[in-house]
């Protein structure tokens, strides 16, 4: 945890009737880093972002962003942050240039400052050749770049992104991340909600959210290194049969298909691949788990704990 976090959530909770969308979330984000909030649909990612951006009030708990208590001074927070929602929210009948001008007017950015900042953002995103194209005729990746430029016009300290590359092609995703790295080098803090584990690998810190609860938060390297269970790559003639045989054995946390192979997590204090050879014939090799492996294993442990 950072000694002076730019974002802090303390027991942040949000309920909708009998449903708990976010359950006592505690986390801290250091200034100038990329923080990835990872989870499946319905995990509470968007709710978390809306609470931290002041778009929704918590049922319980509190949040501070950019040095301001969200419950006491939400307007001061909004001056310091940028928020990019999942859905493209710009005006499709306006050109790239006109959208930029409209948002600059909203933020009160005029004169040379507007010109300088707009030109810098155009260069950074390589959108200059498309300034006169209507936003509705841009590709998915270009729309995201335009939304990002408009979000950055007032020079926020913290940028909140809600699954910004969802449905975007791989090349555009790569370009988008190159822009984020440039922004972070300039001192911006990025708080990113994503369902893509390969994107989370690029973050400084990753928080796993499942069913509204934080289940683990650390750097990608720490998450992969510190899981107590061992991970093995397993190959066999009949992967489905092998999986069914292994997943019910004591000491086996999870068995997941990965292409034509399986990834097996076991508690070596209880069992081992050699012992499991008695119930299925397979070859194995110990590997470092991916973030996807870790997330699946942690979700499985949480499910087992809840069932108990």
Lowest pLDDT segment from 116-125, 269-278, 284-293: 116-125
pLDDT at 139 over 80: yes
Is residue 1, in this structure, part of any structural domain at all? no
Structural domain includes residue 152? yes
**pLDDT at 223 exceeding the cut of 70:** yes
Give the CATH number for residue 238: 3.30.70.100
Q: How far is CA 150 from CA 46, 54, 157, 265, in A?
A: 20, 19, 15, 45
How far is Cα 144 from Cα 177, in angstroms, rounded to an integer? 12
Higher per-residue pLDDT: 102 or 88? 102
160 by Cβ neighbours in 10 Å (0-12 / 13-18 / 19+) ranks as buried
Enumerate the β-bridge partners of residue 159: 82, 190
Domain boundary among 223, 246, 263: 223
d(CA 274, CA 253): 16
Question: How does pLDDT run across 23-61, given as a tens digit for each residue?
Answer: 999 999 999 999 999 998 899 999 999 999 999 999 999
Number of domains in the chain: 2
pLDDT digits (tens, 9 = 90+) for 179-202: 999 999 989 999 999 988 888 999
What band does 2 get if pLDDT is binned at 50, 70 and 90? Answer: very low
99 and 39 both lie in a single domain? yes
Identify whether residues 137 and 193 lie together within a single domain: yes
Mean pLDDT check: name the lowest of 8-17, 116-125, 226-235: 116-125
| pTM of the predicted structure, to 2 decimals | 0.89
Supply the DSSP string of 9-61, one letter for each residue. Answer: EEEEEEEETTEEEEEEEEEEE-TT-EEEEE--TTSSHHHHHHHHTTSS--SEE
pLDDT in tens, 148-170: 999 998 889 999 999 988 878 88
Using the 3D structure, point to which of 223, 258, 273 is the last residue of a domain.
223
Mean pLDDT value of segment 76-104: 89
> Do 64 and 169 reside in the same domain of the chain?
yes
Same domain, 153 and 29: yes
**Are 156 and 274 found together in one domain?**
no
- 15 within a domain of the structure (yes/no): yes
Percent of the chain predicted with pLDDT > 70: 99
* Whether the Cβ atoms of residue 286 and residue 242 lie closer than 8 Å to each other: no
Mean residue pLDDT of the chain comes to 91
Residues 59 and 153 in one domain: yes
Are 205 and 72 members of one domain?
yes
Containing structural domain, residue 275: 228-288
Residue 300 in domain: no
pLDDT value at residue 267:
95
């Amino acid at each position: 945890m950072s000694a002076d976090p730019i974002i802090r959530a303390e027991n942040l909770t949000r309920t909708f009737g009998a449903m708990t969308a976010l359950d006592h979330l505690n986390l801290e984000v250091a200034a100038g880093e990329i923080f990835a909030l990872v989870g499946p649909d319905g995990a509470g990612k968007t709710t978390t972002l809306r609470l931290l951006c002041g778009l929704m009030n918590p049922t319980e708990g509190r949040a501070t962003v950019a040095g301001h208590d969200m419950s006491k001074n939400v307007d001061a927070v909004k001056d310091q942050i940028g928020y990019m929602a999942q859905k493209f929210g710009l005006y499709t009948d306006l050109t790239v240039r006109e959208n930029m001008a409209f948002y600059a007017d909203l933020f009160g950015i005029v004169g040379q400052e507007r010109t300088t900042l707009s030109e810098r953002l155009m260069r950074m995103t390589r959108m200059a050749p498309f300034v006169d194209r209507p936003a509705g005729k841009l590709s998915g990746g270009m729309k995201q770049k335009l939304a990002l430029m408009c979000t950055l016009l007032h020079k926020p300290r913290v940028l909140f992104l809600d699954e910004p590359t969802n449905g975007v092609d791989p090349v555009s995703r790569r370009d988008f991340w190159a822009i984020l790295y440039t922004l972070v080098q300039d001192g911006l803090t990025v708080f990113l909600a994503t369902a893509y584990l390969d994107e989370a690998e690029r973050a400084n810190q990753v928080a796993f959210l499942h069913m509204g609860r934080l289940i683990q938060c650390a750097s990608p390297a720490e998450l992969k290194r510190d899981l107590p269970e061992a991970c093995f790559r397993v190959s066999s003639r009949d992967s489905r049969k092998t999986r069914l045989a292994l997943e019910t054995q004591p000491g086996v946390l999870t068995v997941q298909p990965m292409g034509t192979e399986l990834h097996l997590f076991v508690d070596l204090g209880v069992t081992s691949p050699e012992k499991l050879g008695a119930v299925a014939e397979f070859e194995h090799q110990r590997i470092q788990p991916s973030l996807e492996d870790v997330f699946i294993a942690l979700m499985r442990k949480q499910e087992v704990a809840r069932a108990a």
